[in-house]
Amino acid sequence: MSKEPAMTLNLEPNFANPDDFYERLIETHRGLSDAQSADVNAKLVLLLSNHIGDMAILTQAMDIAREGHEAQE
Amino acid sequence: MLKTYAYPEFPYVQPPEQKSGQIVRKKAVIVGGGPIGLTMALDLAVQGIPCVVLDDNNTVSIGSRAVCYAKRPLEVWDRLGCAAPMVDKGVGWKIGKVFRDEELVYQFDLLPEDDHKMPAFINLQQYYLEEYLIERCKDFGDLVDIRWMNKVISVKNNPDHVRFTIETPDGIYEMEADYAIACDGAKSDVREMLGAEFTGQFFQDRFLIADVVMKADFPTERWFWFNPPFHRGQSVLLHKQSDDVWRIDFQLGWNADPEEEKKPEKIIPRLKAMLGEDTEFELEWASVYQFACRRMSKFRYGRLFFAGDAAHQVSPFGARGANTGVQDTDNLAWKLKLVMDGKAPDSLLDSYDEERVFAADDNLRNSTRSTDFITPKSNISRTFRDATLDLAQKYGFARKLVNSGRLSSPTPYVNSSLNTPDSDAFHGTMAPGTNCADAPVKVGGTPGWLLNHLGGGFKVIYFSDGSGTPAALAALQDAPVPVEALVIGGNVEDTKGLVTDRYDGTPGTTYLIRPDQHVAARWRSFDPAKVTAALNRAIGK
């Protein structure tokens, strides 16, 4: 029985054009309040997470994203 | 303030037309004797077109201003015979480093490809550059008539000529031009007088730029800091120029008072915080500016053309100002010559607008993106920027998103109406609309460079299939618009095989090259009818 290698989060450059992506990302938030932007970001994370689907990869990303932040309470 | 440079003072001479009271019609009048106006003058002069350059001042650029010059404009200046002193005096560099706080986030290497005559980038104070351009103009004698202290005070744009009213220390006179080119900078008076639109984005930020003379052991690299300990909450850029002059840019924020920030007593402490109390330095020149990314809706108004910052203004991150301005004049000069000589229709001049507006938009896009990263316009934009910088310290993907300026490179005219689209398959980057890559060659046994042999007329580069030069190819040089042949493996020896490599040159491969050294068309075999058709297309017929 063949076993798929464990998938890992890709941290190498993967955008065909990084500047196009970044501009589109900032554009998505243009004119929004901070609260609206937080909502847009939450939905983005949920949409992309569903697209990725792989819990191992998502966990790695969540861990890296949280690095350096201490709980405030 | 210390002086490493003595500003020349050019003599004002009363214009003969003012003395005589006669209104004279000139073939070409250029407004503005800065880098773009002078380059335009040279490009007309090498083609034998006399021109007048009107400048409201009598010296070169005060302060270093434009500092970084890229390979393509250097190639243009080399074609015009004045790149050598610039490259000799300038400081070559290729490494850029980006810091955040005290940490190096990442570094880039412009990785210039070997075997090009011109370097990837040089840094040189604008006053030296202008001085070399003015020196070169002198070689053309009366063809370039530079008139210092001649200020344009009104413009009348007629269908068949442009009429200027000009003020000198002796009063006012009038002059007419068959064609006029406004190269009078971002605050262009000519644009203002025409009432032409100049729209885009203003950025709510201010920058202090300072020229500092010091013997420092910083390497010759571009250093960019986000939020450094010596200038919290803002960014700083450090660049080396010649004569131990260093350019330092401090981001000040929107609320800074420009008059206050220009004062040495305000600047010196900023520099000391950065350079250390013990570093000996002198402040040579400083300025505070705010920038905008905008352009005119079109660059051609009948017989009046706009080039350089007068036509399009970008933020300084990426060195896209003077560099792209020189490519404007490179694009316009040969077209003017063909139309003046009656060899091409007036509509060829519309392609200046088409191609250079396309390039300006590319520059504006890149420059706006850099500015949005350096000066985020909203909380969320700043959050993404800071998160990108956080991740970039560890993760390669985020480094690609860090944008401290994307350095100027020529914009290929991919969709230009002057191009003949490929009908054959090619590898590599030399598609129609692209500027030609250089390579070492030998002609008549003498080592040289491909671009120098391309020069400034239409050329065919033909890769010999061993059966000699086709007679129909040689005959092209007797056409009304002559096309000279460079035969690789014939009159041109491809010393290192790099012409063949860079142009994907299989035997029989034929390129038609424009006078501004851009590819007009290419084929896998030589067909004189196709070359003629492509030539006609490239001259707007």
Q: Give the one of A18, A19, A34 whose C-beta lies nearest to B380's C-beta.
A: A34
Collect all residues from B whose CB is shorter than 8 A from any CB in A.
Answer: 366, 369, 372-373, 378-381, 384, 388, 390-391, 395-397, 399-401, 403, 406
Mean pLDDT in residue range B115-131: 95
pLDDT per residue over B447-465, tens digit each?
A: 999 999 999 999 999 999 8
Helix H, strand E, coil C: the string for B229-282 is: CCCCCCEEEEEECCCCEEEEEEECCCCCCHHHHCCHHHHHHHHHHHHCCCCCEE
Please give the Cα distance from B374 to B370 (Å, whole number).
6
Supply φ then ψ for residue A54, to 5 degrees: -75, 115
Asked if the model's pLDDT at residue B361 lies above 80, the reply is yes
Q: What is the DSSP letter of B208?
A: E
In angstroms, the CA A23 to CA B406 distance is 14
- Cβ of A12 within 8 Å of Cβ of B373? The answer is no
Q: Does A17 touch chain B (CB under 8 A)?
A: no
- Judge whether A32 is closer than 8 Å to chain B, CB to CB: yes
ipTM attached to this prediction: 0.90
Cβ within 8 Å, pair A25-B379: no
Question: Does B369 contact A22 at a Cβ distance shorter than 8 Å?
Answer: yes
Question: CATH fold of B16-88+123-200+293-367, please?
Answer: FAD/NAD(P)-binding domain (3.50.50)
Mean pLDDT of B125-141: 97
Percent pLDDT > 70 in chain B is 100
Cβ distance B373 to A23 less than 8 Å, yes or no, reads no
Q: How is residue B157 written in tokens? A: 């744009």
Could you tell me the pLDDT band of residue B441, with boundaries at 50, 70 and 90? very high
| The pLDDT of residue B185 | 95
Q: Is the pLDDT of residue A1 over 80?
A: no
**Residue B263 has what pLDDT?**
93
User: pLDDT digit string (tens) for B236-261?
Assistant: 999 999 999 999 999 999 999 999 99
A2, pLDDT greater than 50: no
Does residue A73 carry a pLDDT above 80?
no
Q: What percent of chain B has pLDDT over 90?
A: 86
Set of chain A residues whose Cβ sits within 8 Å of the Cβ of B372: 23, 26
B440-538 CATH = 3.40.30.120
How much is the pLDDT for B216? Answer: 79
Restricting to A residues 36-55, those with a Cβ less than 8 Å away from any Cβ of B are: 37, 41
- State the Cα–Cα distance between residues A23 and B319, nearest whole angstrom: 20
Query: What are the domain boundaries of chain B?
Result: 16-88+123-200+293-367, 440-538
Mean pLDDT of B178-207: 94
CB contact under 8 A, B403 and A22: yes
Q: What is the mean pLDDT of residues B83-98?
A: 95
Residue B466 has pLDDT above 90, yes or no: no
Residue A4: is its pLDDT beyond 70?
no
Q: What is the pLDDT of residue B119?
A: 93
